Structure 1
Amino acid sequence: MKDEKPHLIEEYEITPYTLLISPITYGSKTYSHIVELDDEYISPFKPIDIIKKSCHYFGVSYEGRKEGTRQLIGVTHKAPIAINPTSSMFFFPTTSPLRPHCIWVSLEHIERFSRVDMSHTSVTFKNHQQVDLPISTSSFENQYMRTVFLKDKLIQRIEETERKYFYLHSHAASEKTAKFRKYKEDH
């Protein structure tokens, strides 16, 4: 991470620039350390609260996104979340989101990851920032692959819907053109 001190902010919604959200402890309270491409922030909210608030910001509930993940890929435990699929904002937890030390990682920004030791994984983001996370590499890879699978399934559904819409729209347009030609011939 950077050497600069993170900015304290009151409100935060996940953006396409968010790399990860990790918990930090201030006294007896859990805050969030938010890492973006070019900046870092401290929020007085827990990481799960930021995930939930960000889902609501994009018009869905966290519970609805969890249920969508279960429907699409059958994952219920440590489920990846599509905060906003149209902006490729897919996040996955490093442990159960109910645990206080759960870190949320953005799929989109991961360049590579490698094993540090039995219980730590080094993650390098596309902007060359590197962070060691307290998760085994096999667990991290499992979470990563689940999130890739979720993203692929959602993109397939979106593209399928767009193809159907395009077909119906172009089919209706060609029918209107044919009716117009027939009308012109008859008059």
Structure 2
Amino acid sequence: MLIDEFYSPLHEITPCTLAVVAEKDAKGIVHTVVLEEEAEYMVEQPPSKLIDHACKFFGSSLKGRQDGTRDICGITHKAPISIDPSSGMYFFPTTSPTNAKCSWIAHSHIEHVSRATNETTEIIFRNGKRIILDASYGSVMNQIHRTAQFRYLLDNRIRHLQQPKTVPGTRTST
């Protein structure tokens, strides 16, 4: 399997990615609008497929990342994931990832969330960009809190593993 199957500059999810948003074209086919800090572009794949490719680039898959979330904090539905924890790439889905209308939001870029209508929510990112999601305010806020909890637990695990270990009965030199 060649790495080119998983990586293309047009499909790269990076720490600068704000959101991967589902959008239907005139024929009703779901594509993705990728919002970056400095750019926006369209990809002719659904968002969850793009997220899966990004996970594979970093050595897992969307399913693997979802399984990891379940094992770490017990979240089984609409699970937030870490595409790459070392670069802080934590994303949450706006609906079930099996739903073609599912968009993915980068947790670390969110500045403010507000109700747009009863069924839509506006997210304002730290760079001032805004999007309106077809998801209720309560649902989006729940996803933000669940992502924060998952992020905290995973970051603590990683930090614990990076601490120097001492073996009982040995002395560390200074």
Q: TM-score range by the shorter chain?
A: 0.7 to 0.9
Q: Distance in 2 between matches of 1:172 and 1:15?
A: 43
Q: Is the 8 A contact 2:18 2:105 kept in 1?
A: yes
Q: Distance in 1 between matches of 2:100 and 2:66?
A: 19
In structure 2, runs of 5+ residues without a counterpart are 1-7
Greater fraction helix: 1
Q: Distance in 2 between matches of 1:28 and 1:136?
A: 23
Question: C-alpha displacement at 1:17, in angstroms?
Answer: 0.6
- Which position in structure 1 is the counterpart of 2:71? 71
Matched, 1:116 2:116: yes
Question: For residues 118 and 126 of structure 1, do their structure 2 counterparts lie closer, same or farther at Cα, with a shift above 3 Å needed?
Answer: same
TM-score w.r.t. structure 2 length?
0.88
Q: Is the 8 A contact 1:92 1:147 kept in 2?
A: yes
- Which position in structure 2 is the counterpart of 1:129? 129
DSSP 3-state at the match of 1:117: coil
Question: For residues 10 and 18 of structure 1, do their structure 2 counterparts lie closer, same or farther at Cα, with a shift above 3 Å needed?
Answer: closer
Q: Distance in 1 between matches of 2:9 and 2:172?
A: 53
Seq. identity, %: 36
* Rg larger in structure: 1
Question: C-alpha displacement at 1:10, in angstroms?
Answer: 7.7
DSSP 3-state at the match of 2:108: coil
Question: For residues 172 and 50 of structure 1, do their structure 2 counterparts lie closer, same or farther at Cα, with a shift above 3 Å needed?
Answer: farther
Name the Cα RMSD after superposition: 2.0
In structure 1, runs of 5+ residues without a counterpart are 1-8, 178-187
Matched, 1:107 2:103: no
- Which position in structure 2 is the counterpart of 1:167? 165
- Which position in structure 2 is the counterpart of 1:22? 21
Listed as ranges, the matches of 1:128-147 within 5 Å are 128-147=128-147
Question: C-alpha displacement at 1:121, in angstroms?
Answer: 1.1
Question: C-alpha displacement at 1:162, in angstroms?
Answer: 1.1
- Which position in structure 1 is the counterpart of 2:4? none
Question: C-alpha displacement at 1:73, in angstroms?
Answer: 1.1
Matched, 1:94 2:100: no
Q: Distance in 1 between matches of 2:41 and 2:170?
A: 51
Count of matched residue pairs: 165
Question: For residues 10 and 37 of structure 1, do their structure 2 counterparts lie closer, same or farther at Cα, with a shift above 3 Å needed?
Answer: closer
